[in-house]
Structures are given as structure tokens and as C-alpha cells.
Amino acid sequence: MFSQTSEYALRVIVYLAGCNGEPATNRIIAAGTLVPQGYLAKVLQTLSRAGMVKSQRGLHGGTVLARDPHTLTLFDVVQAVDPIRRIESCPLALLAHGKQLCPLHTRLDQAIGGIEKILRNSTIADLMESKSKHRPLALCEPPPKLPKRKARTTAR
């Protein structure tokens, strides 16, 4: 039902919410969310355009959550990267149906509406504050220690 991009975006947002405003590098975010670094750059760019994250280059740079997790909903995140589409007219373009949906497509649209409602009523803070014995992704365990990059040397 949800695209891989939506899943990745949600993981990234939850991870950044767990960083409490501290910038995280792409390398650390990728390790902590299990999102491939190449794909992560695309996801972060989309989330940045939507005003959900801010990134800064440089020595103390990284990415931070730009929205309050108490007002940022799962629906907001999904809509930013891969919008949920409701069924508004017959997907088969049957003339006999016109703008009326058949019972099958009516039921499917109702299911989509139910999912949309749940996502609209679920904030990132709700996930972070959940009483579940399972912690949100960002709080499960610290990201693995990554080896420091070696300085490049030039051979003469």
C-alpha cells in the first residue's frame, strides 16, 4: 500500500525527531534508518522542499527536523513524498458509471479514506511518546559506529 519512498521518509523523520534538534549527517541517518545513502539524499531533498527538514553543510552541519513533532503528522510526511490518491471517478473510465463509483471502487475508496484518517490523526510525537514496549526506530539502538574516513593522499 505504501511506497518504499514513503517508508523511508517516515523512518528518517522519526529518526530525526529522536535526535532532539542535534544535526545528523547523511551517513549517520542512513546507518540509523537502514535507508541506502543514495536514496536517502533523494528523500531528504524532497522532505526539505516540503519544509520538514533543514540541512546545513560544513563542519557542524547535518540535517535536523524543521517541524514540531507534535504537529507533524504521518499523513504530512506521506503526502510530501508519495501522495495518497483517493478514487474520485471510475478508474476504468466506464461511461455507464459516469462519476459514480461502483460498489468495488466505493469500498476501496472508503478503505483509503480510513487509512488517511489514521495517518492524519497520528503525529510523530505520538510515535515517540508511545507506551509500547517496542521503541520507535530512532530510539531502538544507537547507530553503529562508522569508521572514520581516511584522508586522501596524492602520489607523486
Q: What is the pLDDT of residue 59?
A: 76
The answer to the question of residue 95 being in a domain is no
The answer to the question of residue 130 being in a domain is yes
The half-sphere exposure of 89 on its side-chain side, counting CA atoms within 13 A, is 6
The answer to the question of residue 113 being in a domain is no
* Higher-scoring residue by pLDDT: 93, 145: 93
Expressed as residue numbers, the domain containing 135 is: 4-85+123-140
CA–CA dist 5, 54 (Å, integer): 19
Phi/psi for 136 (5° steps) reads -60, 155
The answer to the question of residue 109 being in a domain is no
The answer to the question of residue 155 being in a domain is no
Residue 48 has pLDDT above 50, yes or no: yes
The answer to the question of residue 43 being in a domain is yes
Looking at the chain, the whole-number percentage of residues with pLDDT higher than 70 is 83
C-alpha cell at 122: 497520528
Confidence of residue 140 (pLDDT cuts 50, 70, 90): very low
Helix axes 26-33, 4-17, angle to 10 degrees: 110
The answer to the question of residue 93 being in a domain is no
Please state the rounded mean pLDDT for residues 3-27.
94
Question: In the chain, how many domains are there?
Answer: 1
The answer to the question of residue 46 being in a domain is yes
> What CATH number has the domain bearing residue 42?
1.10.10.10
CA–CA dist 110, 57 (Å, integer): 44
